[in-house]
């Protein structure tokens, strides 16, 4: 399923040439042990877009070397912007490092090519979360930001959703997936399921779901999922949770006092749910650049109507409330697209949102919320 998502984005942008004739230079290297890629267009107008990529499973190919980055960069290159992206110095949950490495690359760009006339921050998925964190902590360095399907809620809460998805599926359909006690045990050599092993496990999950569609529908409804996306959601959860355990040195999640509701028999379900105590502080990986809502310059948050990884009903609403609590509503506009999946945008939709952001920055006229065709 994850390959299908990547493929869908690639197909949507397939008409874009990775070897754009508009590019005069591609600069690659490392800054602070993080690989980077910089594109300079022929008609460079001394303007810069920083782009932050999304979550990568440990050991997966680097996003900076992917054709998808070339395709997304072209949207901004065609508008006369240079584009710079960091691979971050490590994979997995890397939001704090993404912020630091992106900022380090921005400074490197200025030292090498001269200070841009204007700088915009952009990012997708976890990279959208990087963009928001930068606007909360370093907004003085940026004119505005475009955050696409971002990890906009507090990172701990977002990853806790993965924990609850996993533990509830195991209670509803026992014996189908790897026990959570194995996954969160720092002393085991457990490795998340790879693509080669995924087929058989997906089939086992699908068979279990088919035997009780009522339970499957209840679980899907809890997390704004389609039933068909439950298997992928579980594999994503598996990878995210194992990564969090390794980086934390233990289990940062605790559901000993959690009451799960919204099912046909909440009482029986809660008796079946396995309970786990946290063995590591969540602050170890989630405290730095934790979400605050205290943005300092214009931000357009762009979301698809359906997102199986970061549902807008979960992340966007939490962030909007935090921004409101900080009295920064004047800096936030939310745009909605009819994409059916995580970060499934067309190039035109990204371009329109970016153009509205630029107009907002130039004129002071706030971009209007609403839909983008």
Helix axes 67-77, 2-12, angle to 10 degrees: 30
- How many angstroms separate the CA atoms of 192 and 242, rounded? 7
Task: Report how many domains make up the chain.
Answer: 2
pLDDT value for 342: 94
Statement to judge: residues 9 and 141 lie in one domain: yes
Residue 19 pLDDT greater than 60, yes or no: no
Instruction: Return the bridge partners of 26, or none.
Output: 39
Whether residue 117 sits in one domain with residue 106: yes
Distance CA 82, CA 357 (A): 17
Looking at residue 79, which CATH number applies to its domain?
3.40.50.1820
* Largest Cα span, the chain: 65
Residue 159 sits in which domain range?
A: 155-285
Same-domain pairing of 352 and 245: no
Residue 24: per-residue pLDDT: 81
At 61, the pLDDT band (50, 70, 90 cuts) reads: confident
Is the confidence at residue 119, as pLDDT, over 70? yes
Same domain, 58 and 189: no
Co-location of 19 and 140 in the same domain:
yes
Q: Worst-scoring range by mean pLDDT, 107-121, 198-212, 254-268, 335-349?
A: 198-212
- Residue 104 shares a structural domain with residue 244: no
Are residues 129 and 250 part of one domain?
A: no
Domain boundary among 285, 304, 328: 285
- Three-state secondary structure readout of 315-370: HHHHHHHHHHHCCCHHHEEEEEEEEECCCCCCHHHHHHHHHHHHHHHHHCCCCCCE
Q: How far apart are CA 182 and CA 62, in angstroms?
A: 28
Residue 185 DSSP SS3: coil
Q: How confident is the model at residue 43 (pLDDT cuts 50, 70, 90)?
A: confident
Return mean pLDDT, the chain.
Answer: 92
User: Percentage of residues in the chain with pLDDT exceeding 70?
Assistant: 94
Same domain, 105 and 159: no
The pair of structure tokens assigned to 79 is 């508008």
Residue where a domain terminates, one of 235, 264, 285: 285
For residues 23 and 127, membership in a common domain is answered with: yes
Same domain, yes or no, for 257 and 172?
yes
Same domain, 148 and 10: yes
H-helix segments, the chain? 2-12, 67-77, 95-113, 126-137, 155-172, 180-183, 195-211, 213-222, 230-248, 266-272, 283-286, 315-325, 347-363
285, 302, 328: which is the final residue of a domain? 285
Tokens of 85: 């992206």
For residues 19 and 139, give the distance between their C-alpha atoms in angstroms, rounded to a whole number.
32
Q: Which two tokens stand for residue 93?
A: 């949950």
Mean pLDDT of 160-165: 96
Q: Has residue 6 got a pLDDT over 80?
A: no
- pLDDT of 195 > 80? The answer is no
52 and 195 share one domain: no
């Amino acid at each position: 399923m994850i390959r299908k998502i990547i493929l869908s984005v690639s197909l949507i942008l397939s008409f874009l040439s990775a070897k754009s004739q508009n590019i005069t230079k591609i600069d690659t290297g490392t800054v602070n042990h993080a690989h980077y890629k910089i594109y300079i267009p022929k008609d460079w107008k001394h303007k810069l877009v920083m782009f932050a990529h999304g979550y990568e499973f440990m050991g997966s190919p680097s996003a900076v070397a992917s054709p998808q980055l070339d395709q997304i960069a072209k949207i901004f290159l065609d508008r006369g912007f240079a584009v710079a992206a960091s691979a971050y110095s490590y994979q997995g949950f890397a939001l704090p490092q993404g912020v630091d490495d992106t900022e380090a690359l921005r400074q490197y760009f200025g030292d090498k090519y001269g200070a841009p006339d204007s700088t915009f921050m952009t990012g997708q998925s976890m990279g959208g979360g990087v963009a928001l964190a930068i606007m909360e902590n370093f907004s003085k360095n940026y004119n505005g930001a475009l955050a696409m399907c971002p990890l906009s809620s507090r990172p701990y809460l977002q990853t806790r959703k993965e924990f609850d998805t996993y533990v509830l599926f195991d209670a509803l359909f026992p014996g189908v997936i790897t026990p959570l006690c194995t996954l969160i045990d720092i002393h085991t050599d457990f490795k998340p399921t790879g693509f080669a092993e995924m087929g058989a496990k997906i089939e086992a999950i699908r068979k279990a779901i088919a035997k009780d569609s009522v339970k499957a529908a209840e679980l899907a409804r809890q997390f704004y999922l389609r039933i068909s996306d439950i298997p992928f959601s579980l594999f994503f959860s598996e990878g995210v949770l194992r990564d969090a355990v390794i980086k934390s040195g233990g289990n940062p999640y605790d559901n000993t006092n959690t009451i799960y509701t919204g099912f046909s028999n909440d009482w029986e379900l809660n008796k079946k749910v396995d309970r786990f105590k946290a063995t590591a502080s969540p602050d170890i990986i989630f405290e730095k650049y934790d979400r605050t809502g205290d943005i300092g310059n214009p931000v357009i948050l762009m979301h698809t109507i359906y997102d199986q990884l970061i549902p807008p009903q979960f992340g966007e609403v939490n962030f909007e409330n935090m921004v409101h609590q900080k009295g920064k509503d004047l800096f936030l506009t939310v745009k909605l697209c009819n994409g059916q999946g995580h970060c499934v945008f067309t190039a035109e939709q990204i371009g329109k949102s970016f153009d509205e952001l630029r107009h907002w920055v130039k004129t002071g006229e706030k971009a209007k919320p609403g839909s983008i065709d």
